[in-house]
Amino acid sequence: MRLLHTSDWHLGRRLCDCDRYRTFEQFLTWLTDLIAEQSVDTLLVAGDVFDTTTPSHQAQKLYYDFLAGLQSTSCRHVVVIAGNHDSPTLLTAPKSLLNALNVTVVGSPGERCDDEIIALHDGAGALQAVVCAIPYLRERDILHYGEHDTLREKDEAIARATALHYRRVVDRALELYDIAPNIPLIASGHLFAAGCTTQTSERNLYVGSLGVLPADTFPPEIDYLALGHLHHAQQLNGIAAGGYCGSPIPFDFGENQDKYVNIIDFDGKLTEIRKIPVPHFDRLRRIEGDVDSIVEAVGELVRAQCDDWCEIIRTGGITGHNLKEIVDSLTQGAPLRVVRICDASFEAACLTSSDTTQSIKELTPSDIFEKRLARASDLDEETKRELRYCHDSIVYDILHEDVHANR
DSSP-derived secondary structure for 236-272: PTT-SSEEE---SS--STT--S--EEEEEEEETTEEE
Q: What is the pLDDT of residue 204?
A: 53
Do 372 and 342 share a structural domain? no
Q: What span, in angstroms and rounded, lies between the C-alpha atoms of 34 and 64?
A: 18
Q: Is the pTM of this model over 0.85?
A: no
Q: What is the pLDDT of residue 375?
A: 78
Q: Which of 297, 180, 191, 172 is nearest to 242 (CA)?
A: 191
Do 245 and 118 share a structural domain? yes
Average pLDDT over residues 43-57: 97
Q: Could you say which DSSP state residue 51 is in?
A: S
The more confident residue out of 185 and 151 is 185
Average pLDDT over residues 278-283: 92
The more confident residue out of 270 and 211 is 270
- Measured in degrees and rounded to the nearest 5, phi and psi for residue 41 equal -85, -40
Q: What span, in angstroms and rounded, lies between the C-alpha atoms of 314 and 293?
A: 9
The CATH code of the domain that includes 349 is 3.30.160.720
Confirm if 371 and 364 have CB atoms less than 8 A apart. no
Do 296 and 378 share a structural domain? no
The CATH code of the domain that includes 193 is 3.60.21.10
Q: What is the pLDDT of residue 132?
A: 97
- Of the pLDDT bands very low, low, confident and very high (cuts 50, 70, 90), residue 400 is low
Report the chain's mean pLDDT, rounded to a whole number: 85
* Statement: residue 115 has pLDDT above 80: yes
Helix or strand (DSSP H, E) at 341: strand 337-343
Amino acid at 172: R
Average pLDDT over residues 75-81: 97
Do 342 and 202 share a structural domain? no
Average pLDDT over residues 209-224: 84
Instruction: Find residue 277's DSSP bridge partners.
Output: 260
Domain that holds residue 377: 366-407
Confirm if 278 and 261 have CB atoms less than 8 A apart. yes
Instruction: Find residue 51's DSSP bridge partners.
Output: none
Q: What is the pLDDT of residue 154?
A: 75
* Statement: residue 353 has pLDDT above 70: no
Give the residue from 226, 255, 277 where a domain finishes.
277
2-11 burial, b if ≥16 CB within 10 A, otherwise e? Answer: bbbbbbbbbb
Do 110 and 97 share a structural domain? yes
Give the residue from 362, 379, 395 where a domain finishes.
362
Q: What angle do CA 112, 113, 115 make, to 5 degrees?
A: 80
| Strand ranges of the sheet holding 127-132, from the earlier edge strand across to the other edge | 117-121, 127-132, 185-190, 224-228, 242-244, 234-235
* Statement: residue 78 has pLDDT above 90: yes
Do 163 and 30 share a structural domain? yes
Q: What angle do CA 392, 396, 400 make, to 5 degrees?
A: 175
Give the residue from 277, 306, 327 where a domain finishes.
277
Confirm if 188 and 132 have CB atoms less than 8 A apart. yes
Range with the poorest average pLDDT among 5-14, 194-203, 342-351: 342-351
Do 189 and 267 share a structural domain? yes
Domains in the chain, number: 3
Do 95 and 165 share a structural domain? yes
Q: Hey, which of 116-120, 210-214, 354-358, 389-393 has the most confident mean pLDDT?
A: 116-120
Do 65 and 142 share a structural domain? yes
* Statement: residue 137 has pLDDT above 50: yes
Q: What is the pLDDT of residue 350?
A: 45
Average pLDDT over residues 128-144: 89
- Of the pLDDT bands very low, low, confident and very high (cuts 50, 70, 90), residue 58 is very high
Cα–Cα separations (whole angstroms), residue 70 to 23, 44, 53, 106, 348: 19, 13, 24, 19, 51
Q: What is the pLDDT of residue 357?
A: 41
Do 164 and 37 share a structural domain? yes
Q: What is the pLDDT of residue 142?
A: 82
Amino acid at 101: L
Confirm if 312 and 293 have CB atoms less than 8 A apart. no
- Measured in degrees and rounded to the nearest 5, phi and psi for residue 304 equal -85, 0
- Of the pLDDT bands very low, low, confident and very high (cuts 50, 70, 90), residue 153 is confident
Average pLDDT over residues 15-37: 96
Do 260 and 173 share a structural domain? yes
- Cβ neighbors of 106 (< 8 A, separation 6 or more) are 79, 80, 81, 82, 92, 115, 116, 118, 133, 134, 135
Q: What span, in angstroms and rounded, lies between the C-alpha atoms of 4 and 31?
A: 10
Tens of pLDDT along 289-330? 988 899 999 999 999 999 999 999 988 765 556 888 899 999
The more confident residue out of 374 and 87 is 87
Range with the poorest average pLDDT among 70-79, 243-252, 363-372: 363-372
Range with the poorest average pLDDT among 1-5, 29-33, 368-372: 368-372
Do 349 and 292 share a structural domain? yes
Range with the poorest average pLDDT among 205-209, 293-297, 303-307, 334-338: 205-209
The more confident residue out of 321 and 102 is 102
The more confident residue out of 153 and 101 is 101
Q: What span, in angstroms and rounded, lies between the C-alpha atoms of 190 and 134?
A: 8
The more confident residue out of 377 and 281 is 281
Q: What span, in angstroms and rounded, lies between the C-alpha atoms of 399 and 165?
A: 22
Confirm if 320 and 293 have CB atoms less than 8 A apart. no
